[in-house]
Structure 1
């Protein structure tokens, strides 16, 4: 029987043939590795956000972290970039962009850097805040623009509705005009780098320029990045004689000029809080009592 198999010698690989096959195999292997890597890179790029949302009331630390995440950078990168960002801040800010990282939605493209995003936020704030209605409103209330932004930042941190913002603004002005400390919990929260509705008596003894229970006047800088509604409230406070307020429950913020009425409102706040969280009433660090004298919001014993 004849077979059409060529002689063994004709199918032996030459040295060159071996090299050629090995090289070909290497190319094939490399291709098999490279394709998944290319696919992963494409998927990663697709997952990278194309926009960055900065909500009203965020602090600079929150904005820095959001930029780091959006650009897939190690945490702390954006904060470290401040030195070379060359932001157009007022002299009063002394290089601190708090209050000027305007809340909005910003585009994030391949060329975006921490410096470019921060600059865009500050430039947006300057455009929003430097208009004639804002500057005229600040002058009408005997303050400069930086002070108006500081008041707006407190308003933004204390309440969320437009109606309440105007009233909180009036409380701030009424207290300043009467030579009373602001005693705003939001300023203490900023000093303590926390977000909580609870202020203890020990908190009010904190040594900090942001402790508005002990320090007179406004804090040295804004305490958040306010939006348009808070800024409008800062330059257009609602008419009223209020000196105190407390949010008894969501959607129910009560304003009064009477300390006795404030105590009753705080007592109701305490009752509702304890009924919602019985364990909190047994904790000296979270239980709520009547506010310290003159406080516009609730405070707690330590």
Structure 2
């Protein structure tokens, strides 16, 4: 050990006499999609674009069979240490391992079982909550809307799944968008989408298995910080009309009617 002169700090030396490398930090935010994560890893590791994406096929990732090798939803949002020895496959494996640990926490695992969901279904539902809820306080209510619609065999009609299908992120969903022939079009298809649509955090996972009690079947975010939850379609139409008035004033297209 080397005692730095002028400071009471012990700096461990590596066998070659060099101090250890200080790790950099790779931040993966909640709600990022897999391509965003791949691009962030490429950038942080100074690799050519597309390198991490190509690694997925050969990386040893502890994904459930339902994922069919697709890590979407399992690239857990967190801050990861990165050094010159880090590799895409190691980072991806660490992210998937972290997602599995969070899905296996007692509250999330027991809650998922109580709702008859596999961990993969929990991750899928949580990813919708992560995309749709505008505030942490809304997560439980959004989860309740999804559960209530599933219980009534109603299409989920989530704009976030359309955005995923169309590889975009917008509030401006049109009627023609809701009619596309796509597995992620939850306006036309019942049930959860085939895969998660982003990387959900622990709060979204917890909300997915412990939704806020309520009878809501609809919601719309009228303006930032103001999400309206409704039990009836008539009530929901009034909120959508207000949303459309505000969007029209901003020159945006009207929201489609469910």
User: Fold match, TM over 0.5?
Assistant: yes
1:287 matches 2:256: no
1:1-302 to 2 correspondences below 5 Å = 50-275=24-249, 277=250, 280=251, 286-289=252-255, 291-292=256-257, 295=258
For the aligned residue pairs, the C-alpha RMSD in angstroms reads 1.5
1:148–1:234 Cα contact (<8 Å) kept: yes
TM-score by length of 2: 0.89
2:134–2:224 Cα contact (<8 Å) kept: no
Corresponding pairs, count: 238
Q: Which has the higher helix share?
A: 1
Return the offset for 1:132.
Answer: 2.3
- Stretches of structure 2 lacking an aligned partner (at least 5 in a row): 1-20
Tell me the distance in 2 between the aligned counterparts of 1:160 and 1:102: 19
Where 1:83 maps in the other structure, the secondary structure is coil
Where 2:186 maps in the other structure, the secondary structure is coil
Tell me the distance in 2 between the aligned counterparts of 1:145 and 1:129: 6
Tell me the distance in 2 between the aligned counterparts of 1:99 and 1:83: 16
Tell me the distance in 2 between the aligned counterparts of 1:129 and 1:148: 8
Tell me the distance in 1 between the aligned counterparts of 2:173 and 2:23: 37
TM-score by length of 1: 0.76
Map of 1:10 onto structure 2: none
Runs of 4+ in 1 over 4 A off after TM superposition: none
Return the offset for 1:49.
Answer: 7.8
Q: Please tell me whether Structure 1 or Structure 2 has the larger radius of gyration of its CA atoms.
A: 1
Tell me the distance in 1 between the aligned counterparts of 2:117 and 2:62: 21
